[in-house]
Structure 1
Amino acid sequence: MKNEWNIVVIGCLLASTALADTVTLLNGDRLSGTLVRMEADMVWLKTGYAGTLKLPWAQVDQVNTDAAVRVRLADGTELDGQLQADRARQLRIRIGSLAETTLLALDRIDAINPPRQGDRTNVSGRASLGGNIARGNTDAQTLHVDGELVARNASQRVTLDGELNDAAQDGVDTASNWRLGMKYDHFASEKTYFYANTRFDHDGQAGLDLRSTLGVGAGRQLYERDDLKLSLEGGLSLVNEDYADATDTRFPGARVGVRYEQAFWDDRLKLFHNSDLLLSLKSLDDYLYQSRTGFRVPVGNGFSLGSQVNFDYDAVPAAGKGSTDTSLLFKLDYTI
């Protein structure tokens, strides 16, 4: 009876090994496990002995999978099938029981098991709160609130964002500004999109009653992963500025925008940078620049502690006002 159990156990182990996906590296190392995905020139292999390994795709020599996976080629073609290694850095994709592709170089594979978005809309959001209150010899209070809501499916993305800063010292306002924006992106391909956006800004200390911006343009979503998001975009905008004690202005402008967010050390730290440059097409000396740069440290249950630097620059401010506004903020964030 004991010998029979040993045979069963050994058979199970051999079967589990036989059913495993395998990745062979250029140095000859052969790793077995479950091929999770490949994207951005990295492959994720889930193992029972070392957790999930993240391997450079350029160092992979051969790949075999026991079950069908979804493969996206560099030309956008998607196939579902079993990967079968053939020769150095080449494979075939077996589709069903009868068909298989010709030899494919690994360099032609853009992704394995990329996320399926389809028509499903994913909604994400973030809200931030910061501030302080002092009473006694010092009578001051500050309040900072900002947030963002994003709805995304395979072909569209809608972004709403807002920010409010209010501060007073001994009963005198030292900061009173807010901004509100809305943006619509339509993806012509996986990474290229066209956008339309509008933004409203108010800054009492800068003498700005309202700045309204309406623009269109195009962008490139270079990365859109859980651990890295990076996009670059540019276009044309119409800017209208209403001042309390200065001449109102209106001008067409060229816009450049950057959006960046990256997680490090298994999401223990997140860095971000968002910036917009508006350059007047009437005068190259007239431009506006706004940036938000900082970090967040997740503390659990959707909450993060972080800090950011707000930098606003108006090359042609209202008479008697400065060009530069900078603030350092400490915040509590909540992400959904």
Structure 2
Amino acid sequence: MLSRSLLCAALVAASSAAFADTVWLKNGDRLTGTIRVFDGGKLVLETDYGGTIPLDWKKVATLESDRELLIKQDDLHGERAKSLHRAEDGKVILANGEAPKEVELASIEQIMKPKPLVEDLTWTGNIDVSLDYKRAEKDTDDYDVDFRTRARHGRWRHNASGEYNREFTDDVKTSENWETEYALDRFITDKFFWQGRGEYKRDKLGDIERQRTLGTGPGYQFWDDELGAFSLAGLVNRTDYRFATGNKEGFYSLSTKWDYNRYLVGKTVELFTNGEVGRPLDNTADYSLDAELGLRYKLTDWASLNMKAEKDLVSGAEGEIDETRYTVGFGVGW
């Protein structure tokens, strides 16, 4: 009975090892785990004994995997390999259902898990917090919290974001505002989608006290994979302003929204930008711009440092706005 139990345990261990990805290094070491991505000269291997390990691609001799992976040898073309097989040093064999293909490791630019645009359920997001304290002739305190999250199931995608900002100068509140937005995307094909969105902004000390926007329109997802995503949407919007003076104003507008992020250096650095530029149809303003650009550096699997620049501009209208903010802070992601 004992020998039978030991045999079963050995078979389970052997089958587990058989399904693990394996990387051989040029110094003779062999590492097992799950290949997550290769980009920017770093092969990211997730292990149960050392967490996520970034490996220098120049130190890799060969590798193998029983999982389907996308192998890209240039920016435009990629090949889905059903599995990877070990080859001589500096090479790997791609098995794709046809004749096996041997390629040079030096010719590979990216490796990633093929990710269909529409999955059963995925949920990602991050929360960033930044605090700025300055003690000088004038003391200033600045608090900023914002979040972005996205969930997908079937052909539906939910996008939500929000931000809260408060500033004090010599213990006198000089700014307090918050905003939130929700957008629902319905994918018609793997690339084209239709978006409906609602946005609300509240500024307790600004000229524009409240802003409500409802919009709808088509969008296009250029890509969405392990290394990032990029989408554009063209919307027809109805916006209503309420000014601090008590005046109200409403108008229709056309706008273009973008959402872009790109992971670099083995997914340790993320470049991101999102925003919207629009123009009213009744010429109540020249144009409006609400955008952010930033970098996020991963400290652990869930913690990161971030640096952002935000631009909020309404040109040629009552209560004209032209604000630029820079923040550095700490964030968590999932």
Is the TM value for this pair above 0.5? yes
Q: Counterparts in 2 of 1:122-141, with a 5 A limit?
A: 122-134=122-134, 138-141=138-141
Q: Would the aligned equivalents of 2:237 and 2:252 in 1 still touch at CA under 8 Å?
A: yes
Partner residue, 2:252? 252
Residue 97 of structure 1 is matched in structure 2 by none
User: Is this contact kept in 2: 1:206–1:318, CA < 8 A?
Assistant: no
Task: Summarize the Cα distance change of 1:211–1:52 in structure 2 as closer, same or farther, 3 Å threshold.
Answer: farther
Of residues 65, 76, 98 in structure 2, which corresponds to 1:83?
Answer: 98
Cα pair 2:222 2:229 within 8 Å, conserved: yes
For 2:71 and 2:284, how far apart are their aligned partners in 1? 45
1:324 and 1:33, CA in 2 relative to 1: closer, same or farther beyond 3 A?
A: same
Return the offset for 1:246. 5.5
Is there any run of 5+ residues in structure 1 with no aligned partner, and where? Answer: 1-30, 55-62, 70-81, 87-111
Three-state SS of the structure 1 residue aligned to 2:282 is coil
Equivalent residue for 2:70, pick from 37, 46, 66:
37
Task: Quote the offset at 1:264 in angstroms.
Answer: 1.0
* 8 A Cα contact 1:206 1:317, kept in partner: no
1:334 aligned partner:
332
Give the letter for the 1:175 counterpart: S
Structure 1 residue 238 corresponds to structure 2 residue 271: no
Distance 1:176 1:313, change over 3 A: same
Q: Tell me how far apart the structure 1 counterparts of residues 176 and 286 of structure 2 sit (CA, whole Å).
A: 24
| Native 8 Å contact 2:115 2:226 kept in 1 | no
2-structure distance, mates of 1:219, 1:51: 45
Shift of 1:184: 0.2
Give the CA deviation at 1:32.
Answer: 8.8
Residue-by-residue CA offset, 1:20-78 (whole Å, 9 max, x unaligned): xxxxxxxxxxx995562257623477464699989xxxxxxxx973xxx6xxxxxxxxx
Moved over 3 A (4+): 31-35, 43-54, 112-119, 133-139, 316-319
1:294-313 Cα offsets, whole Å, 9 max, x none, are 10111113111110001010
Q: Distance in 2 between matches of 1:117 and 1:136?
A: 51
Secondary structure of 1:300's counterpart equals coil
**CA distance in structure 1 between the aligned counterparts of 2:123 and 2:249, rounded to whole angstroms:** 37
Distance in 1 separating the partners of 2:193 and 2:276: 17
SS in 2 for 1:83: coil
| Bigger mean CA deviation after superposition, 240-249 or 281-290 | 281-290
Residues 128 and 147, structure 1, Cα contact 8 Å, conserved in 2: yes
Contact 1:44/1:53, CA 8 A, preserved across alignment? no
Q: 3-state SS of the aligned residue for 2:189?
A: coil
Alpha-carbon contact 1:180-1:200 (below 8 Å) kept: yes
Superposition deviation, residue 276 in structure 1: 0.3
Q: Say whether the 8 Å CA contact 2:236–2:252 is kept in structure 1.
A: yes
Match of 1:228 in 2: 228
Q: Assess, with a 3 A threshold, how the Cα gap between structure 1 residues 52 and 154 changes in structure 2: closer, same or farther.
A: farther
Q: C-alpha distance in 2, partners of 1:264/1:232?
A: 22
Whether the 8 Å contact between 1:38 and 1:114 is mirrored in structure 2 is no
TM (norm. structure 2) is 0.68
**Number of residues of Structure 1 aligned to a counterpart in Structure 2:** 257
Tell me the residue number matched to 2:265: 265
Change in Cα spacing, 1:278 to 1:142, as seen in structure 2 (3 Å) is same
Identity %: 18
Question: Residue 151 of structure 2: SS of its match in structure 1?
Answer: strand
Which structure has the greater CA radius of gyration? 1
Q: Map 1:19-168 onto structure 2 (within 5 A).
A: 34=65, 36-38=69-71, 41-43=77-79, 46=84, 48=86, 65=95, 82-84=97-99, 114-115=114-115, 120-134=120-134, 138-168=138-168
Tell me the TM-score normalized by structure 1.
0.68
Counterpart of 1:42 in structure 2: which amino acid?
G
**Kept in 2: contact 1:167–1:173 (CA 8 A):** yes
Cα gap change, 1:137 to 1:114, in 2 (>3 Å): closer
Show the 5 A alignment for 1:137-216: 138-216=138-216
Tell me, what secondary structure is at the counterpart of 2:299? strand
C-alpha distance in 2 between matches for 1:137 and 1:176: 22
